[in-house]
Structure formats: C-alpha cells, structure tokens
Structure 1
Amino acid sequence: MSIKETSTDLRVRRTLQMIQDALISLMDEQGFDRTTVRDITARAMINRATFYLHYEDKYDLLEKTVDGMLDELRMTMELPTSFSAEQFNMNEATPPASFVRQFEHLAANAKFYKVMLGPHGAPGFSGRMEQVIEDALFQRQTLAQPHEQHLSLPRELIIRYATSAHIGVMKHWLENNMPYTPNYMATQLKRLHLLGPTHLSLQSK
C-alpha cells in the first residue's frame, strides 16, 4: 500500500470515527429519535455529502456502529481452540487475558457502552451484548468440559448464571465510572466465576 493510500485510509477512518462519536454524543443528550442527520453532520463538522458517502441514513449509521463495537467485544473474548480447564488457572489472583481485554475494551469505549446501556440506548442492545457474552462463555465452558455427563448440573443453567453475573459486573463498573482497573475487575470476575458470591461473602478477611 502506498503512502497516499495509507493517508487516505487514515482520513476515512478518522471521518467515520467522528461521525460515530457525534451519534453517540447526540443520543446521550437527546435520544436517537430526536437526532437527525443534520445534527450529526454539524456535530462531526462534516458536510452531508460526506455522511451519505458512508451511510444510507441515521439508522444505517446506528446499525453499523453497534455491529462494529460488538464485533470488537466478541474478539476480546475469543479463546484458542486448544483451551482447556487447566489453562483457566485456579489461582484466584491471576486473571485470564481475555477477561482483562474485555474490561480494557469497555474502558476504551466507555461513552458508547454507557449510552447504549442507558435510557437513550438502542433498543435491544443490552440483549445483543448479553448474547455475545453468553456465546463466549459457552465456548469457554464446552472447551473446558466437552462432556455433558461430567457436569454437576445442566450446562444451560451454568451458562445462564455465569452470563448474568458477567454482564452485571460489567454494567456496575461502567455505571460507577470505572473505579477499579481492568486488571482488578478481571481478577474479581474470575473469583466470582470460580468461587461464587456466597463463598466469597463468607470468606474471612
């Protein structure tokens, strides 16, 4: 790729980022329904022709913005196919790299997630995010223990419980303006997965 092509690609990516940032900012202030393409282009400081070069309308913009972010979240949660229970490492103080990546991703895109999970977010976003997490935890659990008969309770119950806890911790962290580091959160989330809330609450300090 030539220097000119690289420069053009960078400009396009910056433009797309400005448009998406403008959308999220406006959704936070006034909701999606009240936001117009004119509002978005004014906030992003671009002309309407530039907007329509990349998106059909504001609905296309929202869809592509959400799809792109959830794809990024999905990638942070990916595991190697060689993953096993032993690789999870039962040491509570050592968080899985994928858990750390998830919280780093949330921190880097906190504005987006706060808006989307709040009252002005896109309808159905929370459910889609939850599905991404559930799919990733299902992969982790089945790679660690592929044989259903060796589980002490149905896999579907394990995954449902783990998913609710996982996304609940993420939302709480975001809602409270991320008071702890991604590494700390990843460590505590691992402890919750390994030990459960009741065991942790009964442990002596």
Structure 2
Amino acid sequence: MSKKSIQIDPRIKRTLHLIRDALISLMDEKGFDQVSVQDITGRAEINRATFYRHYQDKYDLLEKIVDEMLLQFQAAFQLPPEFEAHHFVKDIETPPDSFIRQFEQVAEHSQFYKVMLGPNGLPGFSLRMETIIRDSLNHRSMIAQPIDSQVKIPREIIVRYVASAHLGIIIYWLEKDMSYTPKYMATQLMRLHGFGSTHFFQR
C-alpha cells in the first residue's frame, strides 16, 4: 500500500478536528457528563450521521482524543533508544531536548490540557499523565545510576516525588496562560531537578 493511499482525506481530518475541538470546548463549559452528541454536532456544525461515521458515541470520542494526546506526550518526553549515561546534560542551565519538546507539545494542545487538568476534566487523567512522566524519569534514573545500593533514598520515592513536582510545574504553567516559553520552563524544570537530585546519588 502506497503512502498516498493511507493518508487521511483533508476534509475528513478537518471534520475530526472540528468534532474534537467541539467536545473539549463543551467540557470546559459544563463538564463531560452534561455534554451530548447533539451538543457536539451542533458546536462542530456537522450532522449526527457524520459523527457516528467516525465515533460510536461521546465516550469513544473522548477515549480516542485522550489516548492520542497521551501518546504524543509520551513520545515528546522519550529518550532516543541509543541514549547512554554519558549523554546526560551536566549543566542544569541547558535543558535536554526532551524537556523542551514536552512543553512544546503541551503548548500546541494547551486547550486540551487546560481542560483535562482542570475542574471539568477527565477523572484520572492527571494520574495517567504523571505515570508517563514517572516511567520516563525512572528509566532516566536507571541510566544515571543503575545500582540501587548507590541511591541514598529508595528510587521509587525519588521518582514519585520528582514526577509529582514535574507535573505540578506543567499545571502551573497552564494556569499562568503559558506566560513563559517552553525553553524557559524546561530550563526551570532542569534547575529544580538538578537542585533536588544532586544529593540523591552517591558519587
């Protein structure tokens, strides 16, 4: 199958964006439970048949949006497969590309993240997001210091603490309407990680 044959028709892609944007804006206004398919189709200015051509119901729509966004968030934060300990940035003033990409991804989909992490968001979303951060940080900690006996504080405690703070900084940034650039936020996050973790590992 050629690459051209699997590309999504631009008109379909536009329709999917309209549907998804409609759901997010409606959730922001009144919460998911109060949103109906009729609300979504009315906001997106499409008919119900078009909606059901792509989604089974509003739950299917929400699940697909969340899964796609979290996959993108995870991909933005991943280290390259060949990454090794000597690649770690030693200068806390120079954030790794993955930290910057993460903030860029959140900025690109800021309305989604503001809603999902806000009072009308999806219950459990923040935990799923934090789990992605936690898994990545645990992987990084294993590269930095693979020997548990050389870690002054149990690794799980360190990773849980840092992941919680990491997500908290993202939420703060969104609450402040992203008044700082992704690179600036990545630098501050790198400083916080550096100040908090330099004493965790024996040298």
Give runs of aligned pairs for residues 137-152 of structure 1, distance below 5 A. Answer: 137-152=137-152
CA distance in 2, matches of 1:112, 1:86: 36
Q: Is the counterpart of residue 110 in structure 1 residue 95 in structure 2?
A: no
Farther off after superposition, 61-70 or 144-153? 144-153
1:202 is matched with which residue? none
2:63 is matched with which residue? 63
Q: Could you tell me whether the CA contact under 8 Å between 1:83 and 1:144 is conserved in 2?
A: no
Q: Could you tell me whether the CA contact under 8 Å between 1:81 and 1:143 is conserved in 2?
A: no
Residue-by-residue CA offset, 1:124-168 (whole Å, 9 max, x unaligned): 111111111111111111122222122222110110111011001
Amino acid at match of 2:100: V
Residue-by-residue CA offset, 1:99-146 (whole Å, 9 max, x unaligned): 000000111111001111111001111111111111111111112222
1:43 is matched with which residue? 43
The alignment-based identity, stated in percent, is 56
CA distance in 2, matches of 1:143, 1:2: 37
Deviation at 1:5, TM superposition (A): 6.6
Structure 1 residues 121 and 2: alpha-carbon distance in aligned structure 2, compared to 1, 3 A threshold: closer
Deviation at 1:83, TM superposition (A): 2.2
3-state SS in 2 of match to 1:196 = helix
Amino acid at match of 1:156: E
Structure 1 residues 187 and 50: alpha-carbon distance in aligned structure 2, compared to 1, 3 A threshold: same
Amino acid at match of 2:87: Q
Amino acid at match of 1:171: I
2:14 is matched with which residue? 14
3-state SS in 2 of match to 1:33 = helix
Amino acid at match of 1:61: L
2:157 is matched with which residue? 157
Deviation at 1:9, TM superposition (A): 2.6
CA distance in 1, matches of 2:3, 2:155: 51
Superposition RMSD in Å? 1.9
3-state SS in 1 of match to 2:32 = coil
Matched positions, count = 197
Q: Is the counterpart of residue 130 in structure 1 residue 168 in structure 2?
A: no
TM-score norm. by structure 1 comes to 0.90
CA distance in 1, matches of 2:11, 2:143: 41
Amino acid at match of 1:68: E
Deviation at 1:11, TM superposition (A): 2.2
Amino acid at match of 2:18: M
1:91 is matched with which residue? 91
CA distance in 1, matches of 2:60, 2:4: 31
2:80 is matched with which residue? 80
CA distance in 1, matches of 2:184, 2:65: 29
